[in-house]
Structure 1
């Protein structure tokens, strides 16, 4: 598997994260996204992510929510620090503080029987009626 950052110096903490992801056969794209998202968390903290507290984790997730980050994106952003805390730092207490947000699912719009009958009656071709 190719390395994520071949020509730059990598901190020992980032290298450990990359090694943990490689050992678990994460794809290159997932590794890139996790490194980006852990970096985003570190930028939010303005210090190394291994110094985070449970309050920092809660504030980070609250800030993401207040920034109107879409639910699927929020869940992706949460997955990276969860993996980082649980696997790389062996701090499952912090990983549990990050929660995935429920994605609201909407039922599709379904035509009523009358609407289907009117739609089917708009064509006289048997082939088109069968398709409808």
Structure 2
């Protein structure tokens, strides 16, 4: 993460998100499927997570899959939301 010039707060946030996703999944994120990612996003919505927090969370999950695990197939299904105006 340092090589990608992520600051300490971003690094901490990404690690927290990775732990949260793995805890929700109940197994290693390496074994995640596109349905798991979609269900996690749905879980965030159903638990009342704000749009800003959901976007931050999914950015961390996207970093996990794209950079750490190199699972580009799962990154395509991750989307960001816009705040309602």
Please state which band the TM-score falls in when normalised by the shorter chain.
over 0.9
Q: Which runs of 4+ in 1 moved over 4 A?
A: none
| Alpha-carbon displacement from aligned partner over 1:86-110 (angstroms, at most 9, x marks no partner) | 11111111011111112112xxxxx
Structure having greater relative contact order (Cα 8 Å, sep ≥ 6): 2
Counterpart Cα distance in 1 of 2:75 and 2:29: 12
Counterpart Cα distance in 2 of 1:23 and 1:51: 26
Please point out which of 104, 114, 119 is paired with 2:84: 104
Secondary structure of 2:9's match?
Answer: helix
Gaps of 5+ in 2: none
Gaps of 5+ in 1: 1-20, 106-132
Task: Tell me, yes or no, if structure 1 residue 93 matches structure 2 residue 73.
Answer: yes
Aligned Cα root-mean-square deviation (Å): 0.8
For 1:31, the equivalent position in structure 2 comes to 11
Counterpart Cα distance in 1 of 2:72 and 2:2: 20
For 1:41, the equivalent position in structure 2 comes to 21
TM-score by length of 1: 0.62
Question: By how many angstroms is 1:22 displaced?
Answer: 1.3
TM-score by length of 2: 0.95
| Alpha-carbon displacement from aligned partner over 1:3-33 (angstroms, at most 9, x marks no partner) | xxxxxxxxxxxxxxxxxx1110100110000
Task: Tell me, yes or no, if structure 1 residue 54 matches structure 2 residue 34.
Answer: yes
